[in-house]
Amino acid sequence: MERRKEELEKKRQKLAELRRAREERRAVLESQTAQQNTTSSASGTASPGNKDRKAIDDLVAMVLGERQGSPSPGAVGSDRGSDTGSERASSRPSSLHLVPSMTTQTTEPKSSISSVSTSARLAELSEAHADIIDIPPAVHVHYSKEVQTVEGSFDTPQLSEEEIRREIMEEVEKNERQRQAKLEDERKKFESTKTEELRELSDEERKTIVTSHTFANFVDTSSKIVERALHETYDFMKDYTIGAEVTSEDTFSKRIKYICEFWDEKWSKNRSVTDVDWSPKYPELMVSSYNKNPMAVNEPDGIACVWNLHMPERPEFVFHSQSDVLAVKFSSFHPNYIIGGTYSGQIVLWDTRAKSLPVLKTPLSAGGHTHPIYSLEMIGTQNAHNLISASTDGFVCSWQLDMLAQPQDFIELVHPSHSKTDEVSVTCSGFPDNETTSFWVGTEEGNVYQANRYDRAGSKAGINQYDTYKGHAGAITGLHFHPLSGPVDFSDLFLTSSIDWTVKLWRSKSIAKTSTQPTTILPLNSFEQADDHVYDVKWSPTHPALFGAVDGNGKFDLWNLNADTEEPYVSTMVGSGKALNKLAWDKDGKRTAIGSSDGRVYIYELGDVAHPKPEDWHLLQKNISEMISNQENPNK
């Protein structure tokens, strides 16, 4: 930018010098003209010689005018030099070249000559100044429509519609020919690489494949998936435009629905179901335990089968044990663990991720149980929990699931007033909700005792020697505390079942109010409608007044304390009338699993029977209060 300014300034100076030189030449010309006029006027009258002189002066003036417009020889040379000088413009301060003008004047000699030729020399001649300016040529910008558009983009297509269609068809035919040629090449290549015909497997090869472990696993896994899909019972042809069948609300509310039964020819035949339990994580899974099959000496004595509601024809998993499995339970905090209590006194732990054999088990030694285990309970929280086992040997042991080599602690239940031996033969046990130290046990002689795992204020570890819950005339088969749910706390209530054909309702005595002398506690109510031994009883996990009981006559009774305490709310014959050994509710209280002595597990759905109403808790509270009042004042 500075260089450009310098060039413009130099151009202005040269223009000023040109103007000044032009003024000087004009002034010289005017002075010469004035001298000539003065000379002619002084010479007097006009003469032929004057006329000639005037003509010569005009000629000289004309010549001088041409020279002023024509370049001097020096200027021509400088023009030639400017061509080469323009190439070296970077080394010169300016592209303007000024050639200094040289003025030569011819003076008249001192001797006066009067001839015309002598007078013609008196005219002063001067050379014109020629300035050469080197200005770079202007850049001419040419615009074209190709800058923004492609040539021919707005032109009409040169091809007709028929020609375009013909070209497209030719291209399609060409691609089809190429594809056919490629397929033909692949076929020829396949035929060339085919060295031998497919042959049929021999019997030995077929047997090897079928009996391989990999093939068996593949068939087992894939067939389970197919069976689950095929067992989908959704009615795809259901017509929602047809009006529903109108039934009375009373009849519908008392209806329970049979869902399915679990039975396997290989594993369930000639066995009895000893216990059932639902998975706390997967609502479609449940587990059942079985005793020995006397007709199959090569099969394991005890087994546990995991069943799926979507695949009732065969079990998902089958676990083995060296002894009859009398109690089984899903771990509440490890969904893959299944715990079993056996007839030999061992506790076995199976894992659904492992094979059929136990991954852990307790030793057959004096450190654990030596008699059959009929009761297993999980207590605690996710981070701190224990397995509590009770056996007919009178011991209650606490275990860590990751260390079954020996119990974490144990207590022996001894009662001095026992008829034959001091130890108490435990057949069932139960913990109230949110309680981990105090528990209640049912015994073979028909009594219920309260016991403590540890010493606590006012009582020692072991059986409470003073409080005895008496009411049954035979061995107690089941004991279950009321679940802690809903607005009213009924966790002090528990039910017991017995081989004396009755179910009894009890109210546990407060642990804080210990007795100082022997006290007999009687049941709040007795339910005596069974026709055979009652083998199990369980509260509904959702309905406060609902519980179920199963007996040896194959009957499943549902009791609703808010509706009636004399007759069952619903009574159903299950299966073929064989004895029913165990009962379990799922966590939602909508289904029950019932284990039978013929090896079958029956699933029933309760429908509206299991749905509590908001007033059921307060109504049950009122009914329990009346029972307590009648117990305290029997003559009233």
Q: What is the pLDDT of residue 231?
A: 66
Q: Give phi and psi for 247, each to the nearest 5.
A: -125, 155
Structure tokens at 289: 């335990």
Helix axes 2-42, 48-69, angle to 10 degrees: 180
Nearest residue to 409 (alpha-carbon basis) of 371, 367, 353: 367
Residue 46: the pLDDT is 47
Higher pLDDT, 86 or 604: 604
Q: Is the pLDDT of residue 328 over 90?
A: yes
Residue 245: the pLDDT is 46
Is the pLDDT score of 620 beyond 80? yes
pLDDT in tens, 103-158: 334 344 444 434 444 444 455 666 666 677 767 777 776 666 555 555 555 555 56
| Residue 102 confidence (pLDDT) above 70 | no
Predicted local confidence at residue 242, as pLDDT: 60
63-72, 195-204, 480-489: lowest mean pLDDT where?
A: 63-72
Model confidence at 629: pLDDT above 60: yes
- DSSP label at 308? E
Per residue in 51-78, is it b (16+ CB within 10 Å) or e — as a string? eebeeebeebeeebeeeeeebbeebeeb
Give Cβ neighbours of residue 400 (< 8 Å, ≥ 6 apart).
386, 387, 408
Share of the chain above pLDDT 90, in %: 31
pLDDT number for residue 498: 94
Q: Residue 43: pLDDT band by 50, 70, 90 thresholds? A: low
Residue 610 CA: distances (Å) to CA of 256, 288, 513: 10, 23, 35
Helix, coil or strand: residue 615: coil
pTM, 2 dp: 0.63
Question: Mind giving me the DSSP string for 140-173?
Answer: PP---GGGTS-TTTTSPPSS-HHHHHHHHHHHHH
**Stretch among 90-104, 189-203, 540-554 having the lowest mean pLDDT:** 90-104
Strongest mean pLDDT among 380-384, 421-425, 591-595: 591-595
Residue 455 CB contacts under 8 Å (≥ 6 apart), including other chains: 461
pLDDT attached to residue 418? 63
Query: Residue 271: pLDDT band by 50, 70, 90 thresholds?
Result: very high
Instruction: Select the more confidently predicted residue: 362 or 242.
Output: 362
